[in-house]
Structures are given as structure tokens and as C-alpha cells.
Amino acid sequence: MRVDAIQLTRDLIRCPSVTPQDAGALDVVQGALDGLGFTCYRLPFGEGADRVDNLYARLGTASPNFCFAGHTDVVPAGEQNHWQNDPFGAEIRDGAIFGRGASDMKGAIAAFVAATSEFIEDAADFTGSISFLITGDEEGPAVNGTIKMLDWLTEKGEILDYCLVGEPTNPGKVGDMAKIGRRGSLNGRLQVRGTQGHVAYPHLADNPIPRLVRILDGLLARDFNDGNDHFQPTNLEIVSVDVGNGASNVIPEMAEARFNIRFNNAQNDDDLQQWVRSVCDGVGGNYSLEMRASGDAFLTPPGILSGLITDAVSKVTGRVVELSTSGGTSDARFIKDHCPVSEFGLVNQTMHKVDECVRLDDLAELTAIYREILTSFFKGKK
């Protein structure tokens, strides 16, 4: 039974699965995979409002196990009247499907399934397994999704040999870029406290703003200059400075700043946190600091998986893929502890935007590329 990628994409978009709501999206995926003979496991984690549903599905029991990973949850649509069509209507217009999640990443999930249906129709006797690791918690906190599913797989003795994540990696055309790693991300929230007072009597107050400025200056003074063959340099960005003071004659009690560090594999989370605290301690005073990391940088060195992507793209589109570690983060940061992982999906120009869309031609190309990857991977494994 062949699956139509266009119809499946539309069915998925019509499920308003804004994190952590599933809204039937995983039922749609499971229904398609059930029809292809997959054994499906629904894996809800968390309690109450934090509860998230997830899906693991596998066809076959032998190794190697090639896994497609992704997420059915989406970010909010925002002001619906800013969209030309219903953001969950999946309307087709001008050769594209419009709707939240079209490019990030319901279209890629549909291409996963469609490619798999075509592959097993032509190679039903292949030796090995194909699996799907689909979460409903990628756009949110990412605590009740992929990371807990991977723990479940370990407990059950399930082994993933290679994993392809369908994040939208291409800046312009399908085949422009694949991700073979990602930088780590460290978020910081710094609050410096003083004593409120009248600006005309500074000796009776303690202004926290100068100390905050000195700390930020110390953080920004570091020149990481640590780019390498696979990673751009680490960078620290101040994203917010807030005093909350509406008066011009009052010294505030507290000043706050938020920052983010995107770091490569020359740095790690623990060392960066120690460095930030040392800068704060060097300035002194009363401060509080919260830091949260999404994981260290990682790299899947060019090899079998990137070669499969590169060759498939070349065969289907004639394009040469750039192997990159640029951009944000994804659930590949969890999967890399279990098997080699890379990311390749749709064009990312409209993700998270009003009128998010996927071109029908791009969906067809991506499906063909995924099918070619499966064909090449399982070639001769009979």
C-alpha cells in the first residue's frame, strides 16, 4: 500500500498539535504505519498538563535498524487573521500546502512514511528493520519526548544503528544542506540586586545597574575565536536587559539580563557555566544566576550516513549537499548518544512564520531522496 505524501501532510496539518497537545496527529501517523505492517508503541510520558504522547514504530526485527526521527508538535500559529488561510486548514495554493507545521516538520514525516511505503513495496524481502521515533515534545521543553523514548528503547533492548532526523535543513532548495552536528546552547538569567533609593542621595542606596554592566562587559570581552573545520566560533549574545523602572528619580533595587551562548565542540556546558560564575564573582555584590543548557555540541563525522544523504541528493536532484553544523538545536542532541545521527528535511524559509508552507515539488523530491537512502542502505541486505 503506497502512502500519498501530499494527503498525509494535509491530514497532519489539520491536527492542531501545538505543544503539548497531540490533537490526533500521532493517530494519523500510526494509522499509516499500521497499514504498512509496522508494530507501533504509544509512549505517553509526564503527568497532567505536562503529559506528552509519543510513538515508536518498527518494521522487522533484524539488524541493522534504520530510524527516521521527528516531531508532530508545532509552535502556535499566532494571530490567525494574519494568515491568508486557516493555519490548520492545509489549503493547497500556488503549488504549495499552507499550514502550521508544513515545513517543520509534518511534511518531512509524511515524506518518511511515503518513501518507506514505496521502498517496501519494491523490496519487501529486505533484511533489517525500519523504525520511526516520533515525539510530541520537540518544540516545547523536550523533557517528555525523545529523551524518555530513548530510555525506553534502551530498557527494551531496542538498538538504533543509524538515525535520520527530518528537520527542515535546507536554506533554499531541497538538497542544499544537511546537518551532521549542532552547537550546544546555554541560556543564562542574571539578576543583580542592590538597594532602592533616591537618585539625589546615592550614598543611601546601592545601584545594581553598574555591576550588571560590568558583568556583561566581562562576558562580552571574551573572544572565543574557536571555529574549526566543522563548527563556526562560539558566540555569546545578550538577549534582554531589564530594570523595570518607570521613574527617572529612583535608583532601582534590581537589574536583570538574559543571555545565550551557542558553543561548539571546543567548549562544554560545565566549563562555560564555571566561567560565567567566575566573571560574576569577579565583580562581586549580591547576584543570582540561573543557567540551563540544552546539551553539548556534537558531531557525526562524515561517513556512512552523510554519504547516503549526499549520494541520494545527487542522484535525485543533481545538487551537492553542504554538510553543516549551523543553526539551532534539535532532538538529534539526544539521539547522538545512541547512534550516528544526521538531519535532512525540507526548505526552512517559512518555518515558524505566518503562512508556513511546503511546495508540492519539494515534498516529492524529499520523498524520492528518502526512498533512495533506504534503497542504498539496505542494498544487498537480503
The answer to whether 161 is a known catalytic residue is no
Cα distances (angstroms) measured from residue 248 to each of 13, 85, 191, 244, 252: 50, 46, 21, 12, 10
Q: Which of 11, 53, 73, 176 is catalytic?
A: 73
Q: Each residue of 337-355: b (16+ CB within 10 Å) or e?
A: ebbbbbbbbbbbebbbeeb
Smallest Cα–Cα separation from 135: which of 120, 156, 149? Answer: 149
> What CA–CA distance (Å, rounded) separates 311 from 196?
64
Check if the beta carbon of residue 107 is closer than 8 Å to that of residue 358.
yes
Helix, strand and coil content of the chain, in percent to the nearest 5, comes to: 30, 25, 40
> Residue 227, SS3?
coil
The answer to whether 138 is a known catalytic residue is yes
Q: Which of 11, 118, 137, 138 is catalytic?
A: 138
Q: Each residue of 195-214: b (16+ CB within 10 Å) or e?
A: eebeeeeeeebbbbbebbeb
Active site residues: 73, 138
